[in-house]
Amino acid sequence: MRPQLIRLYSGFVALALTAGAPSVLAAELPPNVANAMAQASPQAVADYRRKLKEYQEARAAFDQEASAYWNAIAEKRRGRNAKRRERIQITLDDYVLEHPPLYSGPKRPVNPEPEEEPERPARKPIPVVTDFMRAAQELYQFTPQRPVNEVEFKRAYARYALASGLTREQAVRVYSFETGGTGSYDVQSGIEHGGKRAISTAIGYNQLLTTNSVELLAEQGSELVRALTEKVAQSSGPPRKSLEHKLAVLKRMVAHAKAVPDTWSEHEKIGNTPQGWAMHAMVLDVDVGPMLQTHKLLTSVIFARNKGYNRPLTAAELEMMNLTGDGTGLDMVTMPQAMREQVPTSNFFQRSGYERNPVAIRHNTVAKLLAVTNERMDFNSNKPGAKELATAF
């Protein structure tokens, strides 16, 4: 799986005067435009243009250097992948050992004259829990069974995770990192710790995106159906009827998820539709949700094992796979400690992702990135939610 990082940027549209427009008094203009006009002397404009040229030249030189660097990163990555396919040992020579160039030239100067900013399309709102619930009801006539309290969900998660092969340390420490040690089963990225606006569709203990839910239903659907079928067989009366309906809905969701090619891009397309939102609502269900949260991590464990890595993954190593995707994460996990100390984190990113990731930039080797991940896990494991989850195990 390849978790997708989402970054939100704010923008604005500035006022501008166009040629041929009626003249207006400065007093009638907004203060920022009036001030800009008042200050836009010929000397200020000439100075701005000189500084702009210096900035553009410096930036072009940097972009040329940076492009060469990131092309080398991509080339080394292709070489490592080819070696792995041939089962050839990876060495330090298979990585770029220099850190990325950092721009240190002049900043872009501020134009003393008012200029029109290009109008940007309105951002599509990010769906939230109420949207997922509504979609599930409208498309599948299904409402997820929410737990009576947080402890009920944690206990269900602990039972299934242990039975599936995850350890308490892996589950609790990843939860601590992903949610800060206090997250609830329905916590959504951005709407936590005082946040008011969702920044992604990531939900729950291991922060599943809508695409993750679709992909898990497609790839692990048979196991999910088998486990829920067993639960139905052990029930009776009204609870059984409710579980039978849930099982029927789960089977339909699995069939819909399997109806497209098994690729992240195809699953992402569904994830961005009400049908994908409805599937994502299963993360909130007290029976199916713990299974989805477990398989988000378990697939990484199985991936590593299938690639011949039989040593138990530490929680920090598992988190690297959870964050960066199994293939990229395993690249870091299988690296000897001596190499971890030398290999820059940039080897595991695309340029755009790296330049937006202050943690990877500050902690710029594999060893440092794993160390800071462990530190955060240590700290957050002492928070109430993490302690409660540890007790559930």
User: Exposed/middle/buried for 28, CB within 10 Å: 0-12, 13-18, 19+?
Assistant: exposed
DSSP 131: H
Give pTM, 2 decimals.
0.78
Return all residues near 64 (Cβ < 8 A) that are at least 6 apart. Answer: none
- Dihedral of CA 214/219/222/227: which sign? negative
Instruction: Answer for the pair 133, 145: CB distance below 8 angstroms, yes or no.
Output: no
Q: How many CB atoms lie within 10 A of CB 75?
A: 11
Q: Which residues of the chain have pLDDT under 70?
A: 1-39
Rounded CA separation 206/281 (Å): 15
Question: What's the CA gap between 118 and 23, in Å, rounded?
Answer: 23
- Residue 198 and residue 191 in contact, taking contact as beta carbons nearer than 8 Å: yes
Cβ 173 vs Cβ 373: under 8 Å: no
3-state helix, strand, coil in the chain (%, to 5): 60, 0, 35
Q: Which fold has domain 129-392?
A: Lysozyme (1.10.530)
Residues 52-94: tens digit of each pLDDT: 999 999 999 999 999 999 999 999 999 998 998 888 889 999 9
**Reduced to 3 states, what is the DSSP secondary structure of residue 2?**
coil
pLDDT of residue 132: 96
Cα 269 to Cα 214, 264, 276, 352, distances in angstroms: 10, 9, 8, 22
Cβ contact 254:262 at 8 Å: no
> What is d(CA 172, CA 59) in angstroms, rounded to the nearest whole number?
45
Residue pointed to by tokens 């819909």: 256
Q: What is the pLDDT of residue 333?
A: 87
> Quick one: pLDDT at residue 35?
52
Report the distance separating Cα 31 and Cα 37, nearest Å.
Answer: 10
Q: Given this model, what pLDDT does residue 290 score?
A: 97
Write phi, then psi, for 33 (nearest 5 degrees). -75, -40
- At 70 the pLDDT is 95
Show me where the domains of the chain are located: 17-115, 129-392
| DSSP states of 212-261 | HHHHHHHHHHHHHHHHHHHHHHT--HHHHHHHHHHHHHHHHHHHHHHTS-
Give, in degrees to the nearest 5, the angle at Cα 369 between 77 and 317: 75
Triad 25, 30, 35: Cα angle to 5°: 80
Token pair for residue 116? 């029109």
